[in-house]
Structure 1
Amino acid sequence: MAFLRLSGWEQAQMALLAGDASTRCYLRLTGGPDHQRAILMDADPQTGDTQHAFVQIAGYLTAAGFSAPRIFAADIAQGFVLLEDYGDGLFAKILAYAPAQEAVLYRAAADCLAALHRQPAAPGLLPASADVMAKLIDPAFEWYAAKATSENMAKAKIATVALLGASLRRHASQCSVTVLRDFHAENLIWLPERTGICRVGLLDFQDAVVGHPAYDLVSLTRDARRDLGPGVAALTTQHYLSQSPVEPAPFLDATAVLSVQRNLRILGIFVRLAFEAGKTRYLDLLPRVWDHMLYDLAHPDLSDIARVITDNLPAPDSKLLTKLKAACPQTPTP
């Protein structure tokens, strides 16, 4: 590969790593210059999944004192980025065998978010306004509802977007901080040899926007991929609030409405991944996503949205999951 030759890594050994919900491919390189390791991130430029944003935001985070991977080399036009290898200490992997560490890791993640929110927002990011966020739930209807039922959901979609937009404007209109958007246990790496906020290695931040401070805390505490231990979500939120100038009650209102927005969108995104990319493992996560959404739909100010959603969208029970899996293209899940 010409990129590796020009970067001085052509002699390195390569091993494919597990991918994520994107179209990117990751390779671990060993035996590089001075026996270094690195990660080669490869995104096909034709997909529009450009690496430019990753490089830009990594530079912002590093300059602000956070642990974002160092960039060793990049060819943006070809979609290649060679970056620092943080190892295999994903929060999710650590907690699978050391669940007693959960409170410690989540407290560190909250420290990281609080510190990030004390920084000026990264330049050049798009604002995640209430109207933009409301429209981002389209996949819930275009994919989840469309594959789950034959009912016409046009009116339900219009009503949900309108009601959600109004709730977002009331409770979560503030666009003031860098929002990484996928701040959860499979994108955070524990670096215990470092200190302070640098113990939390950050990944998958190329879709960052300027948005509300509660959004990434929602990503962390309403995780689509794992259940948190009893009380951990509340303790993590309290720890964040202890370091933030925000008023707790309005912040918790914002948390509820942003959770509904995020989890509605995820319902559709996960079904799209199953049908378009053969990643059927994401279907098994739908019940947890649904439960997160229902939990926050219980907020008193979201009763109208709750009624529209529960009257129109079917719950992802075992019967529906079986139906969705049977309808998916027979492509092996990576």
Structure 2
Amino acid sequence: MKAMSPELASWLRGRTDDSVTVKRLHGDVSGRLFWRVFTGNGTHVLMDSGKIPVWPWIDIHELLRANGFRVPAIREIDTRRGWVLQEDLGSRRLLDVDDGQYMKLLDEASDIIVAMQRRLDGRTCADSIAGRRSFTPAFFMAELENTLETLFFRLLGVPMNELLELQREMRTLCESIDPSSVFVHRDFHSSNLMVVDGRLVMVDWQDARFGPPAYDIVSLVRDSYRDPGHVWEDRARKFTLAKGNMNMFQIARTACQRSLKATGTFSFHYRKTGDTRYLGYIPRTLRYLADYARICPQLDGLVRKTYRTLDKYHGEIDLRDFRSANIPEVRSR
């Protein structure tokens, strides 16, 4: 575990006091580092963005705060070195609450998505990096190319001719996703929603951009970390009614791309770190695909090909039991 640099420790003491103590927190897959900071005046969270530019995080933090969304307050900041001392939101996430509270908070989370899409329009976001980035069919397909390479080719050993068949189906999917564009958090799921005094507070917004209206709601209700069960569809339908200009086909197509993309992301981080924890999220996410094909028959060909491929090939990992097991078999690397 990487220790705090002497320069960062000195910077922190200069903004607190010499008696300050810290405890390393789990970071995220981006490589940013976090510590809980204990002082005589309470606790804070220190973020070291390292080599990752911190200005998009700051820019979108200000955009959200200025438009009435709850985000952690910034206490001190060094933009050049990527250091941020911020409010401590605690350790309780939507991921961690009991089932009863989870279901209630899903409604609040959905309301936050609707509010973001209403308040953060193109004019409001014109001066923010979020307003100058957007999803496109090419961007969606680039994400799925990562899935084809890392999961299907490198981990499962799928031959090129069958990869090309999947690629054609995935390209058709990406070209069919709703071209409408609204503000999208991009990682709006149970691990990025903190529960503070019974209410939700967003974190990890630095990749926000404009994209399909369905994107954040499918991130929430088709979450790779926590499955709300059959009620996901009810929550998705309720969202389409709140929006007034959406349907479940849009939900299914967007969800299908995001779920396939997520399996590639988990595969990539497993290959990068060797941490099998990432593999544990893949079977659940793959099971979601069947629901999308049921809702939107256009997706049936892609889902069938995907499932046949998973049943047929196994290399470094074996996902043939993905329908019933959450931990794939892993062979020695």
TM-score normalised by the shorter chain: which range applies? 0.7 to 0.9
Q: Could you tell me which of 144, 157, 172 is aligned with 1:150?
A: 157
Match of 1:278 in 2: 274
Q: Could you tell me which of 42, 55, 60 is aligned with 2:58?
A: 55
Match of 1:266 in 2: 262
Q: Does 1:22 align with 2:16?
A: no
Query: 1-side partners of 2:265 and 2:193: how far apart?
Result: 21
Q: Could you tell me which of 10, 14, 21 is aligned with 1:13?
A: 21
Q: Does 1:77 align with 2:84?
A: no
Q: TM-score, with normalisation over the residues of structure 1?
A: 0.83
Residue pair 1:273, 1:280 contacting (<8 A) in 2 also = no
Q: Does 1:236 align with 2:235?
A: yes
Query: 2-side partners of 1:295 and 1:9: how far apart?
Result: 54
Q: How do 1:150-229 residues align onto structure 2 when only pairs under 5 Å count?
A: 150-153=157-160, 155-175=161-181, 177-192=182-197, 199-229=199-229
Higher relative contact order (CA 8 A, sep 6+): 1
- 1:85-106, Cα deviation, whole Å (9 max, x unpaired): 11122111112xxx11222110
Cα distance change on mapping 1:268 and 1:281 into 2, 3 Å: same
- Return the offset for 1:230: 3.9
Query: 2-side partners of 1:105 and 1:296: how far apart?
Result: 24
Query: 2-side partners of 1:156 and 1:205: how far apart?
Result: 36
- SS across alignment from 1:327: coil
Query: 1-side partners of 2:256 and 2:332: how far apart?
Result: 27
- SS across alignment from 1:113: helix
- Return the offset for 1:269: 1.4
Q: Letter of the aligned partner of 2:172 in structure 1?
A: A
- 1:151-184, Cα deviation, whole Å (9 max, x unpaired): 323x444444444343343342112x22111111
Aligned length: 308
Cα distance change on mapping 1:151 and 1:15 into 2, 3 Å: same
Q: How do 1:86-97 residues align onto structure 2 when only pairs under 5 Å count?
A: 86-95=89-98
Residue pair 1:107, 1:239 contacting (<8 A) in 2 also = no
- Aligned Cα root-mean-square deviation (Å): 2.4
Of 291-300 and 134-143, deviating more is: 291-300
Query: 2-side partners of 1:161 and 1:209: how far apart?
Result: 25
Q: Letter of the aligned partner of 1:115 in structure 2?
A: A
Q: How do 1:282-321 residues align onto structure 2 when only pairs under 5 Å count?
A: 282-298=278-294, 299-314=296-311, 316-318=319-321
Residue pair 2:21, 2:39 contacting (<8 A) in 1 also = yes
% identical aligned pairs: 25
Residue pair 1:181, 1:205 contacting (<8 A) in 2 also = yes
Of 299-308 and 83-92, deviating more is: 299-308
Q: In structure 1, list runs of 5 or more residues that go unmatched.
A: 194-198, 329-334
Query: 1-side partners of 2:134 and 2:293: how far apart?
Result: 25
- SS across alignment from 1:136: helix
Query: 1-side partners of 2:180 and 2:167: how far apart?
Result: 18
Cα distance change on mapping 1:134 and 1:9 into 2, 3 Å: farther
Cα distance change on mapping 1:254 and 1:75 into 2, 3 Å: same
